[in-house]
Amino acid sequence: MTTLVKHLGRSDYLPVWEAMKQFTNTRNADTPDELWLLEHPPVFTLGQAGKPEHILDAGDIPVVKSDRGGQVTYHGPGQLTGYCLFDLKRLGLGPRAFVELIEDTLVDVLVEMDIPAAANRNAHGVYVGQKKIASLGLRIRKGCSYHGFALNVDMDLAPFARINPCGYAGLQMTQLHDFLRKETPSVAAVGDMIAKALQYNLQARLTP
């Protein structure tokens, strides 16, 4: 079944979160999977088990307590956020396998751009050296996923210094822009590359 890809542009976090929950609660066995690609205005989000002490100085940036996995992260303009609304039961994928599929997809796209990225299976996410370039956090409900990944493309990384990213004190963040000698692609263009790679990797995994 083909994944529907939707570009939502720049959208506030709370309405999109509500829409994800609504989609997941009302979908059925025949509902196509969807990938929502967007940017958020500045916001810190805490995962379900997120510890408030990992927010060092929120300042004027709002904090939202979310229902995804993981600790605290930052979303802002210039970052590609991808929300993965997939029926994992139908795909025959467990949560860990799906997270690793997303990580591998992000790595594939970055390596294609000559960025030496790698997935960290212990501290989930995608890294270039010791610096983190993409974060993941999912929620599984009724065998279906929502929330997803955030890939730093060309953004102001300064707000990450106001938190312990993903619960790790001193973790350095990086972005595509720091590694590309030529012009950095737009967030939407990077989203299209990831959507294509994710569809390819899903088909490869599901084809005997």
Enzyme catalytic residues: 166
CA dist., res. 83 & res. 17, Å (int): 9
d(CA 133, CA 175): 5
Question: Coil, strand, or helix at residue 43?
Answer: strand
Q: Is-contact 107 124, C-beta < 8 A?
A: no
Residue closest to 160 by CA, chosen among 85, 82, 54, 70: 54
CA dihedral 48, 46, 41, 7 (to 10 degrees): -30
